[in-house]
């Protein structure tokens, strides 16, 4: 089942979501090491599991998703994703994110076309 985040990433294919219930410490350590290198900050294995950023209330979010400005902005405007926003094409934040996650742009573009 697809779970499209505000930024266009499919949470259901994210390693943090896929492994949200794992007890395999090696798997969590591997993800944490990859993300730490990628994001230039320490990500601890215990902070990897994520319930998906579309959920509200008491949920586990990965450190990146927890503080994600894209998520905060979209949800603050009452949108599920940035595809709903009238400023989508001009937004420096989401367009900057596409440089890091180019697979997210076609997802959001597809949602806008609906």
All structural domains of the chain with their residue ranges: 11-113
Q: Which residue has the tokens 């410490």?
A: 25
> pTM for this one?
0.78
pLDDT digits (tens, 9 = 90+) for 57-108: 667 887 777 778 999 999 899 999 999 999 999 999 999 999 888 999 999 9
Query: What pLDDT sits at residue 20?
Result: 92
Tell me the torsion sign for CA atoms 58, 59, 60, 62: negative
Distances (CA, A) of 98 to 4, 13, 26, 47, 101: 15, 17, 30, 24, 5
Distances (CA, A) of 48 to 33, 61, 65, 68, 74: 10, 8, 10, 15, 23
pLDDT digits (tens, 9 = 90+) for 19-33: 999 999 999 999 999
Q: Which two tokens stand for residue 60?
A: 């586990």
């Amino acid at each position: 089942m697809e779970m499209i985040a505000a930024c266009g990433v499919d949470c259901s294919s994210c390693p943090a979501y896929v492994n949200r219930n794992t007890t395999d410490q090696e798997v969590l350590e591997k993800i944490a090491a990859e993300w730490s290198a990628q994001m230039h900050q320490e990500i601890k294995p215990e902070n990897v599991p994520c319930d998906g950023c579309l959920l509200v209330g008491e949920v586990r979010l990965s450190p990146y998703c927890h503080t994600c400005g894209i998520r905060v902005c979209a949800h603050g405007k009452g949108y599920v994703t940035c595809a709903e926003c009238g400023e989508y094409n001009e937004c420096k934040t989401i367009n900057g994110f596409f440089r890091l996650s180019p697979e997210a742009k076609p997802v959001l573009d597809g949602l806008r076309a609906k």
